[in-house]
Structure 1
Amino acid sequence: MPTAATLADLDLLARGGVCGLLILVAAILIRDHRGLIPARLGAAFAISGAAHAITMSPGVCGQIGLWSTPLVVLSSGGNVVFWLFSRALFEDDFKPRPAHALIWLAVVTVGAIQGLVLAPPHHPLAPWFAGALTLETLFFVGLAVAQVLAAWKGDLVEPRRRLRLWVIGVAGAYMGLRALSDLTGVRQAAPEAAGLLDSLGLVLVAGAVALALLRIPGGELLFGREATAPPPRLEPEDAQLAGALDHAMTVDRAYRQDGLTIGALAARQGLTEHRLRRLINQGLGHRNFNAFLNSHRIAEARAALADPTQVQVPILTIALDTGFASLGPFNRAFKAETGQTPTDYRRRALADSEIGQA
């Protein structure tokens, strides 16, 4: 039976290895992909993980006093960074907003109060803050996992789908299990063993991230491309299938079907989902199924809005006719594609048409 001292030594060794590995991962991401939002958030998550490994080591913060403040801040905000990192991995057009910074600041403030002001743990308010932080961890991990699962189906880059799910799954499992151990009291009942398990979990997370980086040449599949590259040439059979798919979208207007899924479109074309993803991604150059559908829907909507004979047709009708389920998603997709609201686009297009006819 290992002694408490042995467990503590193994814990310290594991945490040191984790810190070194995570700092190396962050350095690689910044060196190779600093212009990409997912890479920057991945580096921030790695640094937060390293800070977490240090601050959760028994007695470290107490020994270095206020010098531990930056570490506590970085560690406390790790859950929010993980959530943003997971969104950036799966949403090609995701961009952090000021509201995200405010959320991070609020969580960090609570964590800093709990770690720096209410220490030691027997302070009357400490359990309340600790409980709030544990629930916060579960909330952001659950939110990240839910968003990952929701967006995973529409991802058209097959290697990226597998690797992203692996990285997010390992990190989410670790953070969730750690939060549950706090809620159930396992950490308080056997702190040395819990600390070692915590360290080994961090090793798995760091190893998963490092493995993902090593397995992907250049990182372009995991972190996205800085510029859209032309799709590769397909084999003759696949090129014919891609042509049939393009005909289904541009002539038959299959995108008009409300709630069209990649499974339904694959069945319509007589293909497996895997092959359809490959055709849309490599044959037509799209990385996300919803973006693929919306590109066709917005193109038809732009033509309708610019048509003087349809000036009396409500925008809602145009949105529904092109396959959108409601006006809100249509407005957001249209503005993201054109930089204008549908109303502004129609007004300017009709004005330009009148000028051209004058």
Structure 2
Amino acid sequence: MSAALPSTLLDAALRGVAIALLLLLALVLGRDRPRLPAARASVALTLGLCVQVIGSTPLFEALVPRLWQAPLVAVSVGNAVLFWVFVQALFHDDFALRPLHVAAWVAVAALAAFNCAVVAGSASVLAPISMGLQRAVPLVFAVLAALAAASHWREDLVERRRRLRVFIVVTGIGYSLGMLAVRLASPHGRLSGLSATVDVAMLLAIVAVVAWRMVRLAGSDLFPAAGVPAAMPVVVLEDAPPPEALPSPDPEPDPAEDRLAESLQHAMAVDRAYRSEDLSIASLATRLSAPEYRLRRLINQRLGHRNFNAFVNGFRLAEAMAALADPGKRDLPVLTIALTAGFQSIGPFNRAFKAATGLTPTEFRRQKLAES
């Protein structure tokens, strides 16, 4: 009994600190951008982890009836879904919560609650199937989170946010899979005293690093700043004169950066590099003979863009708008205009156009031609 007391006190202390840090993160994340979907997803995950820290306490699992544990187990298993949603929100500034996300969380939470309250410890023929599905949840959503991170990581132009995202995704996936393996190897899926303490210690270490790094991040580095538009692209059409060089807001301009800004403006506005379907930050940097990190910094800090695809689509939309407003191109199909501007299909073009103007391309054309 006396030997177990220090370990119990250590476990309780670690859980207390973890919960305090998670609540602090929830406060920080939700304070500045309470209406932003990314902030809401972050707050939901941190609060879900608080429930997980409480519900995975060895004494709680051993002494509290399973029926009472069911809600906490439901939230804990549902955190795998929340982590997937959280990663998508982190990597997409225009992320929006969809019915699919809610349905996935409800299905997983209901399955976990049912298993805890009814199936666990029973001789039901459904037990192997039901419990197997629950054990697959962390693996499935860890893979989905990794795919979401890998497919959009390079588009992020905010360097410090990119590094934080990589840490969160790698450690989050590693923690999820590691603890899944430990639970699979434990009797009845319960953690022993030592493994439970290691579990909360690992979670605390991850949360502590994230909290420390987020304190050093400006709010606009992590989430989009409300009401601050990025620089509007200018596209040279037909025989128009070339655009002026991009202005530098720095009191002491960097000549090398000025040259890169002029080259970028010429490549995008005059040479129309944005028309290339496979244009990436790496290929554009190669085209400009510039290091990728310098091009990222220029587009982010000087032009105000946080996402490379959004930057490129700005030029594509500018060309499409000019073509749709041109009376001489009134008979040109919208699809042709979209493909010429660099969009790969009509669907993404229509969505981007509606988001930028509030009108469909056809409505925009009709309005502009009527004004002319």
Q: Structure 2 matches for 1:66-105, cutoff 5 A?
A: 68=69, 70-105=71-106
Aligned partner of residue 290 in structure 2, secondary structure: coil
CA distance in 1, matches of 2:300, 2:56: 43
Match of 2:358 in 1: 339
Match of 1:57 in 2: 57
Deviation at 1:165, TM superposition (A): 1.4
Of 277-286 and 231-240, more deviation after overlay is shown by: 231-240
* Alpha-carbon displacement from aligned partner over 1:165-210 (angstroms, at most 9, x marks no partner): 1122222211122223345669859734432332222112321321
Aligned partner of 1:114: which letter? N
Asked if the contact 1:256–1:297 (Cα under 8 Å) also holds between the matched residues in 2, the reply is yes
Q: Structure 2 matches for 1:1-358, cutoff 5 A?
A: 10-60=10-60, 63-65=63-65, 68=69, 70-120=71-121, 125-183=126-184, 191-217=192-218, 219-228=219-228, 233-234=249-250, 235-237=253-255, 238-350=257-369, 352-353=370-371, 356=372
* Alpha-carbon displacement from aligned partner over 1:52-87 (angstroms, at most 9, x marks no partner): 122222351564445545433432321121111111
Asked if the contact 1:14–1:200 (Cα under 8 Å) also holds between the matched residues in 2, the reply is yes
CA distance in 2, matches of 1:204, 1:129: 32
Q: 1:147 to 1:340 in 2, by over 3 A?
A: same
Deviation at 1:43, TM superposition (A): 1.5
CA distance in 2, matches of 1:71, 1:182: 16
CA distance in 2, matches of 1:262, 1:279: 12
Of 290-299 and 66-75, more deviation after overlay is shown by: 66-75
Aligned partner of residue 77 in structure 1, secondary structure: helix
Q: 5+ unaligned residues in a row in structure 1: which ranges?
A: none
Aligned partner of 2:115: which letter? Q
CA distance in 2, matches of 1:130, 1:198: 21
Of 113-122 and 246-255, more deviation after overlay is shown by: 113-122
Aligned partner of residue 271 in structure 1, secondary structure: coil
Deviation at 1:342, TM superposition (A): 2.5
Q: 1:228 to 1:186 in 2, by over 3 A?
A: farther
CA distance in 1, matches of 2:249, 2:115: 57
RMSD: 2.8
Asked if the contact 2:22–2:207 (Cα under 8 Å) also holds between the matched residues in 1, the reply is yes
Q: 1:48 to 1:128 in 2, by over 3 A?
A: same
CA distance in 2, matches of 1:189, 1:285: 49
CA distance in 1, matches of 2:113, 2:367: 52
Aligned partner of residue 155 in structure 2, secondary structure: coil
Asked if the contact 2:157–2:299 (Cα under 8 Å) also holds between the matched residues in 1, the reply is yes
Deviation at 1:272, TM superposition (A): 0.6
Aligned partner of 2:28: which letter? I
Aligned partner of 2:225: which letter? R
CA distance in 2, matches of 1:177, 1:187: 17
Asked if the contact 1:186–1:194 (Cα under 8 Å) also holds between the matched residues in 2, the reply is no
Q: 5+ unaligned residues in a row in structure 2: which ranges?
A: 232-247
Query: Would you tell me which structure has more helix in proportion to its own residues?
Result: 1
Of 54-63 and 197-206, more deviation after overlay is shown by: 54-63
Aligned partner of 2:93: which letter? D
Aligned partner of 1:239: which letter? D
TM-score normalised according to structure 1 size: 0.87
Q: 1:14 to 1:124 in 2, by over 3 A?
A: farther
CA distance in 2, matches of 1:314, 1:186: 65
